[in-house]
Amino acid sequence: MPHNDLVGFAALRSFPPPLPAMSHETYQNLLNNLETVMIGQRRTIRWLLAAFIAGGHVLLEDRPGTGKTTLAKAFARSLTLEFQRIQFTPDLLPSDILGVSIFDPQRQEFRLHRGPAFTEVLLADEINRASPRTQAALLEAMGERQISLDGERHELGEWFFVIATQNPIEFHGAYPLPEAQMDRFALRFNLGYPDVAGEMALLTAQRERHPLEALRPCVDRAALVDLRRAAAAIRISEEVSRYLVELVAATRKAPGVTMGASPRASLALMKIARSLALFDGLEFVTPDQVQELATAVLAHRLKLDPQARFSGLTAEAVVGDVLRQVPVPV
């Protein structure tokens, strides 16, 4: 078996290497733990964990009351990571997020008072209620995992992970996120409402107390390191890599699209597909993982022209058309 990642897809299917059982067991423990709180949200948990393992950030777009904030809290608690929440409002300032230097009269010097962005899991709640200037304060932190204040760089650490929530843009007082900010999110998806059985299970689970109160950490940091290493070792064939790139490139030529997905989208799609392959018990990426993620990775990065939007075209529909048009490797 060649050691190069870009080996033939058929060869990988014929000779699958043994699965790193410990990494798969870690994923199952996390999935089961989070499902005690987020009932009926297996896909949501799967994608959130995949993005985190791949080093990406997530944007959750849905209506109030669907469990976005609860999901972020449960995620941080299960992974034993430091957690901070910022409620974005129209009067929020960049310094409220990043921090500010305040003069200490006793020491006769300025001292940095760190903001809530200095954490590991950051919940940016209702991010599109703040002004564009405040939204942009997170750009450097999300892109480079560092914050620059007063000419000094402050590292945020390898586990820094942003879970942002936003209300649909038609809600009163919501500002659209700028394209540069949207491109920093590896995934955008919604939770959706539970079905009748799921909502009844939710009522039963919270009859006496919220399951979040009983949630306990289920993995340590060493296990998270192993998960990331295992995901990075997942192989991707030349055929699947080409398929992935052709999907992304097709969004740039699609009718009604003025700005397609960037190369950053290709990288995000590859890395998160590797995580999903690991979760699925594989050591190579198949077109199935790429197709599963395509809309969540690509749609929010597309910009449609006004006429296309007026005619009812959506970014999700564009990605759907691309998936149908680009040949799938076999």
Q: What is the pTM (predicted TM-score) of this model?
A: 0.87
pLDDT, tens digit, 9 for 90 and up, residues 58-106: 999 877 777 788 888 899 989 889 999 999 988 898 889 988 878 777 7
Average pLDDT over residues 240-253: 95
Q: Where are the beta strands (DSSP E) in 169-317?
A: 187-189, 257-259, 303-304
Give yes or no for residue 13 having a pLDDT over 60: no
Average pLDDT over residues 143-151: 85
Q: Do domains 1-19+233-330 and 21-221 have the same CATH topology?
A: no
Sheet holding 187-189, edge to edge: 83-87, 121-125, 161-166, 58-61, 187-189
Evaluate whether the domain defined by 21-221 bears CATH number 3.40.50.150. no
Q: Which amino acid is at 313?
A: L
pLDDT, tens digit, 9 for 90 and up, residues 157-211: 899 999 998 876 555 667 788 888 889 999 999 887 777 887 788 788 777 778 7
pLDDT, tens digit, 9 for 90 and up, residues 206-231: 777 787 777 888 888 888 998 999 99
The CATH superfamily assigned to 1-19+233-330 is: Magnesium chelatase subunit I, C-Terminal domain (1.10.8.80)
Give the closest residue to 277 by CA, choosing from 260, 292, 263: 292
Name the residue ranges covered by the structural domains of the chain: 1-19+233-330, 21-221
In the chain, what is the straight-line distance between the N-terminal and C-terminal CA atoms, in Å? 19
Q: Are strands 83-87 and 121-125 parallel, antiparallel or unpaired?
A: parallel
